[in-house]
Structure 1
Amino acid sequence: MSTATTCPYCGVGCGVLARVDADGAVHVQGDPTHASNFGRLCVKGAALGETVDLQGRLLHPMLRGSDGRLQRVEWGDALDRVAREFRRIIDEHGPDAVAFYVSGQLLIEDYYVVNKLAKGYIGTANIDTNSRLCMSSAVAGHKRAFGEDVVPGCYEDLEQAELVVLVGSNTAWCHPIVFQRIAKTREAGAIKHVVVIDPRHTATCESADLHLPVKPGTDVWLFNGLLAFLFQHGAMDARFVDTHTEGFAKALAVAEAEAGDPAEVARICGLQMSDLLTFYRWFARCERTVSLFSQGVNQSSSGTDKVNSIINCHLLTGRIGKPGMGPFSITGQPNAMGGREVGGLATMLAAHMELDKPVHRDIVQSFWGSPCMAHRPGLKAVDLFDAIGEGRVKAVWIMATNPVVSMPDADCVKHALARCEWVVSSDIMTHTDTNAYAHALLPALGWGEKDGTVTNSERCISRQRAFLPAPGEARADWRVVCDVARRMGYAQGFQFSAPHEIFLEHARLTAFRNGDIEADGVPVARRMLNLDGLTHLNREAYDAMTPVRWPVLADGQGTTRLFSEGRYAHADGRARFVTVASRMPLHATDCEYPLVLNTGRVRDQWHTMTRTGKAPRLTGHTPEPFVDMHPHDALRCGVREGELARVCSRWGAMVARVTHGGGILAGNVFVPIHWNDQFASDARVGGVVNPVVDPISGEPEFKHTPVRVEPFPVRWYGFLLSRRALAPIGISYWTSIQGDRFRRYEIAHREQPAECGEWARRWLGVTDPEADWLEYEDRSTGVYRAAHLVDDRIESCLFLASRPHLPSRHWLSSLFMQDRLEDADRIALLVGEPADPEASTGHVVCSCFGVGRRTICDAIRSRDLDTPAKITAHLRAGGNCGSCVPELRQLIAEVRSQVEAS
């Protein structure tokens, strides 16, 4: 029997059906009835069953003793200690001396109770979330334009549009199911044009009609120029602007003054004039236009202005609140929007109410019956960790996130936590970069064990249901927060016994005094977040709840899209044009740091890899951290593709493999965000990132950090495959990923071992002189190969060379699937290549079905396959989530050009 639940990755909010077999194996497939995905799943979602094992799980509460070691304790002792330390610090230093740092990985019910504890009972607004790092600029932009943090559209709008503009979003990799909906509609001819605006040529660009590789930081120039162009060419909906908006004249005047000349805009943005005008003309002509934007817009010191510059263009043309049109912010986490709904940011109250509005504070406090209420905004994420480092915040409770990896200037975060009096971490994993600094570790439930709700990017509330028992002593986050609150003396507000009780209280708060009161005789605007139709759910109805978009009014029906009647959440009902002036990022490149660092996700990994790092099929596509550079920049920096380089900024440094992906502009580099000290020796790019933030949203500048790239010299490169995990101690560079029946290590070192054989045996733990040990060494070329077999089955193999050109890991990986190696395999291990050249399928392209590059290229060549659909029909590659389809197109073009050249 399957359980209907929700995927825990990106903000698409895909429905999932999970089934547990008698042997405990978990099988996952897409839910065909869920309107977010209609049964489709990306490779990360499809691999969820591989991530629910208990290896590395935090299963019991732990406290750090005076000797610095973590010791297992009873739950009661842990809860007493957490409550006692928080109470002591509050009594001695006041409520703002404590803080909470939470996550879009929490469920609505978890988020709600911790927000209630902080703001309504402790009396501090020092509760912020990792959503500050990815979506807070969108929040601020929505509130300025609409009066409330509202995404007006829905996924159906993407399928009803004529023009889809993807701004700062590698949708094909980061939101694959949404991208497939766009691609399928475009193939059917409904979408006329797809435009991608991104400094990088990403996989998403492969399916676009037009790619605008804007210079990083110039988005406001681009969209101010569009605003001026639309007005000048008669694309304005004057009736809509006059009837439903304010602030148009001033916004237009600034836009025309700085961006009224398209030639100047093209020069500033680094674009071809013809491409810029093509985009502007398409936007002017296509009434049904959706502008989907994500982290490339938000993660900027001018992110809020970028958001409003996009919204301004939709307000000018009246393209909002109608089918197939509107600005669309797509979130990066499964419950980033749900967290915003319950006030998870330091600048907000629950139910979309505002801390700086006395009437809103009164509404929330009256509803909660709480003893106090935070009366001013709390510390946003970057400021929060600065305050911890300065000793102003003396206790912090971190939930479901890893700020030592994910924050900008992450080394300062590490140092702040190291000196903090009291650090609590609620997590599912024992060992993370952040947990190394915790005084108390509290075991949380993971995906598959949690029960509650999440809200996706289109305002759709879905149930996340448990289908696995709680492992060890792990507990729901909401329950742990309630237990601590009661121990702190706040029993009255935290008597919840199940998540549905919390959800109902949240729903009732959204409807409480919503728009029906007056302050000083002035009507208070009705809040659009309203779950009145869900306030009477009993336990059975909550358990059976089907996905629904808010607002959900008294009839229980959801709302497809908002603003269809032209009324907004500002008190006068009008939307606001926001005047935005262009400005470049604060820290510019210079002779010491001449390159611009951009960070982001890769296709098959998620956040800091604590979940995706467990799934073998997710590690083959991008097995180690890299720095993608233009070849000319690499030459100037003295680094070469395949070798290692150090990426340095004013804030820190990291080491990664140099690649030339072909999609990076000269002067720019790209590094993925996922790797950390659990998976690599020195790959936390957060330690390099610029900590400057948007002055309105507080969101950091993850897309523009001045850096230099320099060689990381080593004497040898190598890799190791082993059936058991090893400790790569004393090695200058290493990365580690989980393969199928083995662990893979990429390694490099500054010194050559004096005796490779002795060193290899010692590291692999092969002490028996009679062990089945194969080795080959050529000292003149610096090549060394070794393998350890037990009962003719390979246990480990090690390959070293003075250059990074080493044998195929994919062929060697296949040997670990065999119960017994043949003599030919033994010889091949020593030679360093398979006896049968066809044995190596090449680098994994399609992770869903494990199809390699060589297999695909051979099929394209031999069968004259000229479309991704034909490759899918022959090899299945590209036939599931479709996130590899752009790469299939690249391979088709590459092979055909080779054939033509020959």
Structure 2
Amino acid sequence: MQSLNGWTKSYCPYCGVGCGLLVQTQGGKVLKVKGDPSHPSSLGDVCSKPIYLPQVLHTPDRLLYPQIRARQDEAFTRVSWDSAFTHVGARLRQIIETYGADAVGFYGSGQFTTEDYYIANKFAKGFLGTNNFEANSRLCMASAVAGYMRALGADGPPPSYDDITLADCFLLIGTNTADCHPVVFQKIRRHKLANPDAVKVIVVDPRRTRTAAIADLYLPVRAGSDTALLNGILYVLIERRLIDEPFIAAHTRDFAQVAEAVRAYPPERAAAICGIEPQAIIEAALMIGQARAWLSFWSMGLNQSTNGVQKNQALINLHLATGQIGKAGAGPFSLTGQPNAMGGREAGGLAHLLPGYRQVANAAHREEVAAYWGVPVTQLSPKPGYGALEMFEAAADGALKALWIMCTNPMASMPNLNVVEAALRQAELVIVQDAYHPTDTTQYAHVLLPAAQWPEKSGVMTNSERRLTYVPQVVAPPAEALPDWQIVAGVARAMGFGAAFAHQSTEEVFAEFAALTAGRPCDYSGVNHARLQSEGPIQWPCPTLEHKGTPRLYVDQTFPTEDGRAHFHVAVYRDIEETTDAAFPLLLNTGRLRHQWHTMTRTGKSPQLMKEAPQPFVELHPEDAAQLGVGDGEMVEVASRRGRVRVVARVTDAVQVGTCFMPFHWGRLMHEGGAINDLTSDARDPIAKQPELKACAVRVVPVAALAMDESPVLAPMLAGD
């Protein structure tokens, strides 16, 4: 382990910023956590969440032993690991022999280490023969992945955090960076404060957040209108000749089609769609077009949309049109939501991927991976598996018989939880592998498998700037908990695949995977555990042991496409899927709180982190609140076409008239008034299959009004939906 005066170097297990941590232990437990000044991504900065990790690791609800039950209404029986491996292996084999391999589905997490991802993915796709391996990354990054792939030929943000101080213009769109990626926000903020006149910041968000406070230009666009805005900006750039014509001619293709398409979005029309003034679009275009170097940052506001891929394409079009990619201080920079969602994509941890940024539908890719794994190429299916939403829908419909859920809590985090609950009740076998019990999801399990979590296991994670960090085991796992990859390997061995899953260490697993990335866009065949421990974090690609890593992609203006050029794509504006009406007159937006993360299975255990918002709430504009007869702090019922939840109202002009906002963190277990995602829509992008968690129609009614009505006003309405 890398130690410094009694502190061990580590890595934050929360968002994708990838901050370095220093961890102090005492008596086999984590005592203190602080920022690591030597980590190149964060330089000692951290937000509030990792500081309180010692409070949430050693808790009474840790899952300590394997447990099994035949039915969900029975009590669990503790069993040995050998018994658990044998039982799970036998049940999977029985289901596969009866229904086929595609009757089994795996649902993993961007909180896995890369080694966890690789072993689970190898087992599912290479040895069971199903591509039904998904991850909760589908909920946050799938649209960005598709945008990068279609435009640039490969996934992965081209810039680095070091580019922040080299940029003189920032476009923050669909990201509340101040709350959701605080350390990145502080980098931008410091640069702006140090150069108040030279550096320009544009913030695009329907909700006025802490991020908007540093904006030179704040654009409170109508929810879902981002594609029209970005097309309108490109219109102005072309009209004012603020594009890089030599770059376009030499290094891109299909600009003419895009230029023709954006003629339909002059500032007047784009502004009418967005609900802002035309001059604001012109001003944004001038800031971008006149910048020496500009960076864009985005996250869920663009990605969680039925138009998510189009939004990503429209944004990348702006970078290609201005030649602002592959150079200092420039590029399209998606902010990853989880600590290793990037590593998961590299390891092939989605239903259409194979390791090393390969595709299951590509015959040459299947041949490469099959040969490496020592299996017949026919063992790798060419058909992409179920996406995350499709997986639970298939289980609810009876097509998917077994669900193995690892390191995530879909019964709180997925949209339209009625479908998820139906899936968990319908499946013949539900395996949940987690560090805690009960969670919203573990309550539906037939098999519980206790997993080690940070910092009880070692491995590698990749952050948003493509930087690999070694994460050491600092303390022993409690009781019989095991690293996720060891659990999967144990089942694989029980099913007779022992030779392919005989790894003796995490280091061996990483070495096997890293070699498989050789020659790929995410090549880190020159990286190993020992090097990361001795030299520190490294950015891929890093193809040899002598290579120092790659801070910035595409500096040679060559792209990993079939013709070596970046591809413009016509970005088609489409409104949100579920619009408001008389029955559901408000548009709900969901998002994060700065001190919480995901479904609070960890952060919810810290009293300090819970202080800001001890209970869920809905933000309402004062005009809407007055019309509804709702006062600040009053209990209300929020209902959609799918469900209802009771929360406290917060009256604020941070949200627009006709809209409301709710933090999504609370599931049914954490809040007896219902889960926030009981409300949300499972409408999805047709390409990325990412759900539109950012927009659905709701109605808000004071609970007091419901109590006075013997027949609640919402009951007939919901019954008819």
Q: TM-score range by the shorter chain?
A: over 0.9
Moved beyond 3 Å, runs of 4+: 22-25, 539-545
Amino acid in structure 2 at the alignment position of 1:557:
K
Map of 1:666 onto structure 2? 657
Q: For 2:314 and 2:384, locate their aligned partners in 1 and report how far apart those are by CA, in whole Å.
A: 26
Q: How does 1:70-149 map to 2 (within 5 A)?
A: 70-149=76-155
Q: For the residues of structure 1 that align with 2:183 and 2:703, how far apart are their CA atoms?
A: 39
| Bigger relative contact order (CA 8 A; separation at least 6) | 2
Partner residue of 1:376? 383
State the partner residue of 2:497.
Answer: 490
Quote the residue 2:713 is aligned against. none
How far did 1:49 drift? 2.1
| Structure 1 counterpart of 2:565 | 574
Q: Given the alignment, which residue of 260, 281, 288 partners 2:286? A: 281
Is the contact between residue 134 and residue 298 of structure 1 (CA under 8 Å) also seen in structure 2? yes
Following TM superposition, by how much is the alpha carbon of 1:244 offset from its aligned partner in structure 2, in angstroms?
A: 0.6
Once the two structures are overlaid, the 10-residue window that deviates more, 455-464 or 544-553, is: 544-553
Match of 1:616 in 2: 607
C-alpha displacement of 1:652: 1.2
Q: Deviations over 1:695-720 (max 9, x none)?
A: 0000000111011111222899xxxx
Query: Which of 546, 549, 553 is residue 543 of structure 2 equivalent to?
Result: 553
Alignment match, 2:472: 465
Residue matched to 2:254: 247
- Work out the CA distance in 1 between the residues paired with 2:61 and 2:665: 18
SS in 2 for 1:628: strand
Secondary structure, aligned partner of 1:533: coil
Residue 719 of structure 2 is matched in structure 1 by none
Task: Report the equivalent of 2:423.
Answer: 416
Q: Give the percent of matched residue pairs that are identical in Structure 1 and Structure 2.
A: 42
Q: Distance in 1 between matches of 2:93 and 2:705?
A: 52
* 1:49 and 2:39 are equivalent in the alignment: no
CA distance in 1, matches of 2:30, 2:559: 49
Residue deviations 1:690-747 (CA, integer Å, cap 9, x gap) = 110000000000111011111222899xxxxxxxxxxxxxxxxxxxxxxxxxxxxxxx
Residue 150 in structure 1 maps to residue 141 in structure 2: no
* Aligned residue among 14, 19, 22 for 1:14: 19
User: Is the alpha carbon distance of 1:706 and 1:68 closer, same or farther for their aligned partners in structure 2, counting shifts above 3 Å?
Assistant: same
CA shift, 1:542, in A, is 5.6
Aligned mates of 1:541, 1:155 — CA distance in 2? 22
How far residue 273 of structure 1 moved from its aligned partner, in angstroms, is 2.8
Contact residue 65 and residue 71 of structure 1 kept, 8 A: no
Determine if contact 2:234/2:285 at 8 Å carries over to the other structure. Answer: no
Query: In the TM superposition, what is the alpha-carbon distance from 1:54 to its structure 2 partner?
Result: 2.6
Contact 1:140 1:696 in 2 (8 A): yes
**Deviation for aligned residue 1:25:** 5.3
CA contact (8 A) 1:141 1:308 kept: yes
Distance (Å, rounded) in 1 between the aligned partners of 2:456 and 2:348: 25
Match of 2:189 in 1: 183
1:366 is matched with which residue: 342, 363, 371? 371
For normalisation by structure 1, the TM-score amounts to 0.76
1:48-447 maps to which residues of 2 (within 5 A)? 48-66=53-71, 68-189=74-195, 192-256=199-263, 258-259=264-265, 261-371=266-376, 372-447=379-454
2:158·2:333 contact (CA, 8 Å) conserved in 1? yes
Structure 1 distance, partners of 2:468, 2:29, is 29
| Larger Cα-atom Rg | 1
- Bigger CA drift: 366-375 or 309-318? 366-375
CA distance in 1, matches of 2:436, 2:28: 24
Which residue matches 2:594? 603
After superposition, give the CA deviation of every residue in 1:105-151 in whole Å (9 maximum; x if it has no partner).
11100000011011111111101100000000000000000111121
C-alpha contact (below 8 Å) 2:201/2:215 kept by paired residues: yes
**Partners of 1:281 and 1:338 in 2: how far apart?**
37
Separation in structure 1 between the aligned mates of residue 304 and residue 418 of structure 2, nearest angstrom: 19
- Give the gaps of 5 or more residues in structure 1: 515-526, 717-902
| Paired residue secondary structure (1:504) | helix
Tell me which amino acid in the other structure corresponds to 2:82.
G
The answer for the alignment partner of 1:531 in structure 2 is 524
Residues 842-901 of structure 1: CA distance to partner in whole angstroms, max 9, x if unpaired?
A: xxxxxxxxxxxxxxxxxxxxxxxxxxxxxxxxxxxxxxxxxxxxxxxxxxxxxxxxxxxx
Q: Give, in whole Å, the separation in 2 of the partners of 1:543 and 1:90.
A: 41
1:22 positional shift: 4.6
1:819 matched residue in structure 2: none
**Per the alignment, in what secondary structure is the counterpart of residue 526 of structure 2?**
helix
Please say if residues 103 and 402 of structure 2, whose CA atoms lie closer than 8 Å, have aligned partners that are also in contact: yes
Q: In 2, Cα distance between the equivalents of 1:252 and 1:368? A: 46
Aligned equivalents of 1:280 and 1:556: distance in 2? 39
Secondary structure of the 2:228 match is helix
* Equivalent-residue separation in structure 2 for 1:46 and 1:235 (angstroms): 45
Paired with 1:440 and 1:578, the residues of 2 have a C-alpha distance of 46
Displacement of 1:228 in angstroms is: 1.3
User: Cα gap change, 1:496/1:25 in structure 2, threshold over 3 Å: closer, same or farther?
Assistant: closer
How far residue 492 of structure 1 moved from its aligned partner, in angstroms, is: 2.2
Counterpart residue identity of residue 566, structure 2: A
Contact (CA 8 Å) 1:463, 1:545: kept in 2 or not?
A: no
Amino acid at match of 1:528: P
- 1:701 and 2:692 are equivalent in the alignment: yes
| Cα distance in structure 2, aligned partners of 1:475 and 1:46 | 25
C-alpha distance in structure 2 between counterparts of 1:715 and 1:145, whole Å: 51
3-state secondary structure, aligned to 2:375: coil
CA distance in 2, matches of 1:132, 1:246: 29
SS at structure 1 position matched to 2:396: helix
Deviations 1:800-857 (A, max 9, x none): xxxxxxxxxxxxxxxxxxxxxxxxxxxxxxxxxxxxxxxxxxxxxxxxxxxxxxxxxx
Instruction: Give the secondary-structure state (helix, strand or coil) at the position aligned to 1:36.
Output: coil
1:736 is aligned to: none
Name the aligned partner's letter for residue 340 of structure 1. R
Query: In the TM superposition, what whole-angstrom CA distance separates every residue of 1:656-689 from its partner, at most 9, and x where no partner exists?
Result: 1000133100011101011122321024111110
Distance 2:577 2:691 in 1: 12
Retained in 1: the 8 A contact 2:23–2:30? no
Deviation at 1:612, TM superposition (A): 0.6
Contact 1:676 1:682 in 2 (8 A): no
Alpha-carbon distance in structure 1 between the residues aligned to 2:535 and 2:69: 41
Mapped contact 1:255–1:581 kept (Cα < 8 A): no
Deviations 1:777-804 (A, max 9, x none): xxxxxxxxxxxxxxxxxxxxxxxxxxxx
Contact conserved, 2:267 with 2:279, CA < 8 A, in 1?
Answer: no
The number of residue pairs the alignment matches comes to 697
Q: How far 1:55 sits from its partner (Å)?
A: 2.0
Cα displacement (A) at 1:103: 0.4
Amino acid at match of 1:591: A
Q: What is the distance in 2 between the residues matched to 1:585 and 1:497? A: 50
Q: Report the counterpart of residue 866 of structure 1 in structure 2.
A: none
Structure 1 partner of 2:710: none
Once the two structures are superposed, residues 396-417 of structure 1 have per-residue CA deviations (whole angstroms, 9 ceiling, x without a partner) of: 1000111111111112101110
Distance in 2, matches of 1:400 and 1:182, equals: 32
> Retained in 2: the 8 A contact 1:398–1:424?
yes
Residues 1:584 and 2:590 aligned together: no
Partner secondary structure for residue 351 of structure 1 = coil
CA distance in 2 between partners of 1:23 and 1:98 (Å): 38
Q: Distance in 2 between matches of 1:421 and 1:438?
A: 10
- Alpha-carbon offset, residue 428 of structure 1: 0.4
Cα 1:92–1:209 change in 2 (3 A) is: same
> 2: distance between equivalents of 1:704 and 1:13?
28
Moved more, 582-591 or 19-28: 19-28
